[in-house]
């Protein structure tokens, strides 16, 4: 399965010490050069920087350039999104990704417009619970930790998450 990730998922999963779930769930992931720049180079020392660099070094996280630079500029201008987010969308399109990991609504909208399934941090945690990688209680605690660290999520999404965990 081809999986592309944006910066926010890498950062937040590292922040709650669940970065390794990404490898456990998906095996290999791809990020754009803009995401690498944002997380590792500009974000050095912050959550996700070391984990991302280490995953690239170990070979399960690939950094890939995007071909259509005009499309990236269009996404940035039209949807007011960052370079890393625009590159994530275009990389997912160009690589024919089956899944894209992204949290921001604008990015998810663009990915879904291109018929790419999206999943954010909470979705990743629920998937890990459903596959038995972490317990339901650990997942609920991880979601609380996400919110406590500044992760923005609506009450509606939280309710849906807790309902899915109860099924």
67 and 78 fall within a common domain: yes
Pair 47, 109 in one domain: yes
CA distances from 90 to 28, 45, 119 (A): 18, 28, 16
Residues 130 and 104 in one domain: no
Q: Do 102 and 130 belong together in one domain?
A: no
Structural domain count of the chain: 2
99 and 129 part of one domain: no
Q: What is the pLDDT of residues 84-117, one digit of tens each?
A: 999 999 999 999 999 999 999 999 999 999 999 9
The per-residue pLDDT for range 146-158, each reduced to its tens digit, is 999 999 999 999 9
Judgement on whether residues 101 and 26 belong to the same structural domain of the protein:
yes
Pairing outcome for strands 99-101 and 117-119: parallel
* In a shared domain, residues 59 and 116: yes
Distance, in Å, from the CA atom of 129 to the CA atom of 26, rounded to the nearest integer, reads 14
Full residue range of the structural domain in which residue 141 is found: 122-166
SS3 assignment, position 99: strand
CA separation for the pair 22, 58 (Å, rounded):
14
pLDDT of residue 73: 96
Q: Average pLDDT for consecutive 10-residue bins of the chain (167 residues)?
A: 97 97 98 97 96 98 96 94 96 97 94 96 97 97 95 92 91
Determine if the pTM surpasses 0.85: yes
CA distance 39 to 24: 21
75 and 48 in a common domain = yes
Is 108 in the same domain as 128? Answer: no
Residues 116 and 150 in one domain: no
Residues 46 and 115 in one domain: yes
**Same structural domain, 23 and 50:** yes
Contact between 39 and 52 under an 8 Å Cβ cutoff? The reply is yes
């Amino acid at each position: 399965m081809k999986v592309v990730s944006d910066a926010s998922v890498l950062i937040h999963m590292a922040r709650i010490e669940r970065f390794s779930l990404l490898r456990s769930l998906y095996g290999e992931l791809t990020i754009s050069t803009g995401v690498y720049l944002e997380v590792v180079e500009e974000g050095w020392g912050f959550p996700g920087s070391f984990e991302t660099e280490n995953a690239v070094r170990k070979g399960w996280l690939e950094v890939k350039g995007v071909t259509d630079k005009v499309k990236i500029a269009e996404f940035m201008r039209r949807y007011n999104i960052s370079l890393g987010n625009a590159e994530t969308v275009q990389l997912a399109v160009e690589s024919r990704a089956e899944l894209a990991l992204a949290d921001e609504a604008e990015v998810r909208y663009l990915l879904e417009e291109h018929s790419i399934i999206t999943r954010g941090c909470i979705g990743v945690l629920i998937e890990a619970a459903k596959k038995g990688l972490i317990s339901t209680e650990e997942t609920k605690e991880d979601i609380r930790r996400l919110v406590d660290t500044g992760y923005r999520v609506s009450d509606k999404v939280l309710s849906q998450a807790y309902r899915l965990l109860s099924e």
